[in-house]
Amino acid sequence: MAVVRALGAMSGTSMDGVDAAIVLTDGETITGFGPSDYLAYSDADRAAIRAALGCWPGDAPVAAAAEAVETAHARLLSRFADAELVGFHGQTLAHDPENRRTHQCGDGAVLAEVLGRTVVWDFRTSDVTLGGEGAPLAPVFHHACARHIGAEVPLAVLNLGGVGNLTWLDPTRPPEAEGALLAFDTGPANAPIDDLCMDWLGQPFDRDGALAREGEVHTALVEDFIRHPFFYRMPPKSLDRDAFRRAGAAIDALPPSHGAATWVAVIAASVAHGLEQCPTRPARLLVTGGGRRNPAIMDALAAALPCAVDPVEAVGLDGDMLEAQAFAYLAVRVRHGLPTSFPGTTGVKAAVGGGQVSHPPGAVDTVSANARQKATRRVAKAR
């Protein structure tokens, strides 16, 4: 399969803005990384998205949120004139895999028309419809990254966005092989700290962990929180951004610095609990996402975990853009009929590919009939 210059875009549950990055790949091997860029949401955009959290298609606030998401993405992605294919994640507003539904707002067909390029989007619905968790989807990309950096032993990748998610991987096995990948959401990450900072201080996040470092950890609340049934479910498993809002009410009621410090301790405890559910102890934990920039979180992880903890930059990867790069990689896999989720990553019954493919007006669909047939067979197997 030919190497594609793919452009991926990601707007995470932290709702700070849109990341975009180029990956050169055939959907299996990463041959290189290209330029990247970022566009912050305006205050009005962020307010529109926040107003739509928890909403489903057709609910009144969704239209304004979708318009904000599509407009911001179009502005950013138009800067990449040489992208051959676009992977568009959209903005998650609600996630309910138990009832086989998930909602990422933003229409890829609109972007395809505006950008004049083929756009792959709606990556999660197929997996959820077939009984999977629909998240996380980056593990197959993490596996490719591990091979790209020459890893030879099991390691783990922790993404700290609004929610934490963990990938355990064995790079000596192909990603489709049994025992090669295990992935799941670990618990809350930046979201409750961001919300606390916004509600109490009018700032979007705890810069440099300064607020958390001023506070005292309320250990009893951490211990009580980690008794939540979610932590005792076997993976794969996934979370909505606000899944712990009720469980975390006592922490949110603390003075701001104590609340931030206690949430940091909860994050570390939930990741430690997650590592106990992995097949083996990883040689190293590589941390990506905005949370790796919070020294309070990184120190808490290092103290709580039985392995080395490093930002992904320690192995030459870009922690600001890893998720955007993942959706560039996934877009190529979708176009080639390759699976994007697996029983060990989302709990789906068989490896399946997700995603809708939208072409600009007048474009010819270049996806081979063979690739379409492969994807169809995988879906049939998962039913």
Give the mean pLDDT of 15-37. 97
Q: How much is the pLDDT for 241?
A: 83
- Per-residue pLDDT tens over the stretch 295-325: 999 999 999 999 999 999 999 999 999 999 9
Give the pLDDT of residue 325.
98
**For residue 151, how many other CB atoms are within 10 A of its CB?**
19
What was the pLDDT predicted at 183? 96
For the purposes of burial, counting CB atoms within 10 Å of the CB of 96, is it exposed (0-12), middle (13-18) or buried (19 or more)?
middle
Would you say 39 and 72 are in contact if contact means Cβ atoms under 8 Å apart? yes
What mean pLDDT is predicted for residues 201-206? 92
Listed by start position, the domains of the chain span 4-131+332-382, 150-315
Q: pLDDT tens-digit profile of 46-97?
A: 999 999 999 999 999 999 999 999 999 999 999 999 999 999 999 999 999 9
Residue 132, judged by CB atoms within 10 A of its CB (0-12, 13-18, 19+), counts as: buried
Sign of the dihedral through C-alpha 181, 345, 138, 24:
positive
Residue 368: per-residue pLDDT: 42
272 residue type, one letter: A
Multiple choice CATH, 150-315, 3.40.50.720, 3.30.420.40, 3.30.750.200, 3.40.50.1360: 3.30.420.40
Under the banding of pLDDT at 50, 70 and 90, the label for residue 369 is very low
Share of the chain above pLDDT 70, in %: 95
Q: Could you confirm whether domain 4-131+332-382 is CATH 3.30.420.40?
A: yes
Residue 113, exposed/middle/buried by CB under 10 A (0-12, 13-18, 19+)? middle
What global pTM score does this model have? 0.90
SS3 304: helix
Same CATH topology for 4-131+332-382 and 150-315: the answer is yes
Rounded to the nearest integer, the mean pLDDT of the chain is 93
Residue 293 DSSP class:
G
Cβ-based neighbours of 48, under 8 Å, separated by 6 or more = 61, 64, 65, 67, 68
**Of 23-32, 269-278, 329-338, 360-369, where does mean pLDDT reach its minimum?**
360-369
> Cβ contacts of residue 239 below 8 Å, gap of 6+?
95, 135, 163, 185, 187, 188, 230
Structure confidence at residue 93 (pLDDT): 95
